């Protein structure tokens, strides 16, 4: 069908900083076209000094939003309410009608259940302490994993550990990977931050998706470790966002992955 923007077109978008690389417009506009929705999805690249002025306007203008680096935590103060999971995590990546949600949490939870099933009392190392790291930590912690947070800024790692403890999740701050683990997560923008010593594990989760085959992903595959790459996380959480906005979505995860590769939007 033809895709026409008119006076009834609904506005959606992703809010972040330096997000010219974002695949979210490709993903969501593809879903809109496939499902016949009169909607358009844009990227809103907002400087930090203007966020407090522009973001409230976008909440009012847009039917739904996604939030990415560096605003997943900062966005909360502008929202009317939070989903219970997002409230616990302290970070949002999806907004609908003034309410914040966290679909990164759902993506990690679903993939880990599919790949490993039981991780109760196992060690999970997480690099990072920002919004994505918080979502991964709460998802893995709720599945029973003992969380070790490794982060350049120790105070942020300590705050995350304290927040996890308030929800009964076993967590500590670490300096490096000292023991065998079940899961290693890179939730930082640096795909080279995880050292080789950490790859004594069963599953690697990489949030970076440009490129898809990051140094971490390549090393993990060479060692025969199961990998969830950044594109898989991105698409899974995007579909969860679509369900929050519209309910049941008929476009599949596999269709979107195929579309992105066919259009050479990923490499």
CB-CB contact of 49 with 108 (8 Å): no
Tell me: is residue 22 an annotated ligand-binding position: yes
For the chain, the residue count is: 267
Query: Closest Cα partner for 111 from 203, 184, 189, 239?
Result: 203
- CA dist 245 to 8, 27, 70, 94, 143, Å? 17, 15, 23, 9, 26
| Pairing of the two strands 146-150 and 94-96 | unpaired
Matching residue, tokens 């929705």: 37
Tell me: is residue 20 an annotated ligand-binding position: no
Alpha-carbon Rg for the chain, nearest whole angstrom, is 18
CA 104 to CA 175: how far, in whole Å?
Answer: 25
> Is 72 labeled as catalytic in the residue annotation?
yes
Tell me: is residue 242 an annotated ligand-binding position: no
CA 15 to CA 191: how far, in whole Å?
Answer: 22
Tell me: is residue 24 an annotated ligand-binding position: yes
Tell me: is residue 93 an annotated ligand-binding position: yes
Tell me: is residue 230 an annotated ligand-binding position: yes
Residues sharing a CB contact under 8 Å with residue 201, sequence separation 6 or more, in sequence order: 125, 180, 181, 182, 183, 184, 225
- Catalytic residue, candidates 10, 34, 72, 87: 72
Tell me: is residue 82 an annotated ligand-binding position: no
Q: Which two tokens stand for residue 244?
A: 């929050």
Q: Which two tokens stand for residue 172?
A: 């500590």
Half-sphere exposure of 191 (CA within 13 A, CB side): 18
Per-residue DSSP letter, 251: S
**DSSP letter for each residue of 29-82:** HHHHHHHT--EEEEEEE--GGGHHHHHHHHHHH-SEEEE-TT-TTGGGGG-SEE
Tell me: is residue 238 an annotated ligand-binding position: no
The binding site for NADP(+) comprises: 128-132, 207, 230
Binding-site annotation: residue ranges for shikimate: 22-24, 68, 93, 104, 209, 237
Known binding residues are: 22-24, 68, 93, 104, 128-132, 207, 209, 230, 237
Which residues are designated catalytic? Answer: 72
């Amino acid at each position: 069908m033809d895709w026409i923007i008119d006076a009834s077109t609904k506005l959606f978008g992703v809010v972040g900083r330096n997000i010219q690389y974002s695949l979210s417009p490709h993903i969501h506009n593809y879903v809109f076209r496939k499902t016949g929705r009169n909607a358009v999805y844009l990227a809103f690249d907002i400087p930090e000094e203007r966020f407090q002025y522009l973001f409230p306007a976008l909440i009012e203008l847009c039917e739904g939003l996604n939030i990415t680096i560096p605003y997943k935590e900062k966005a909360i103060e502008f929202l009317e309410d939070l989903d219970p999971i997002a409230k616990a995590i302290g970070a949002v990546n999806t907004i609908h009608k003034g309410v914040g949600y966290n679909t990164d949490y759902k993506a990690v939870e679903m993939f880990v259940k599919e790949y490993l099933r039981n991780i109760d009392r196992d060690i999970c190392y997480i690099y990072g302490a920002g919004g994505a790291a918080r979502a991964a930590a709460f998802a893995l912690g709720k599945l029973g994993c003992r969380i070790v947070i490794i982060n350049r800024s120790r105070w942020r790692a300590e705050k995350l550990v304290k927040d996890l403890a308030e929800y009964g999740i076993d967590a500590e701050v670490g300096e490096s990977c000292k023991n065998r683990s079940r899961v290693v997560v890179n939730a930082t923008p640096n795909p080279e931050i995880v050292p080789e010593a950490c790859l004594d594990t069963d599953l690697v989760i990489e949030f970076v998706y440009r490129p898809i085959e990051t140094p971490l992903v390549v090393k993990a595959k060479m060692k025969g470790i199961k990998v969830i790459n950044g594109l898989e996380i991105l698409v899974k959480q995007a579909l969860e966002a679509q369900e929050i906005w519209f309910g049941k979505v008929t476009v599949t995860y596999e269709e979107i992955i195929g579309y992105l590769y066919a259009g050479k939007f990923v490499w």
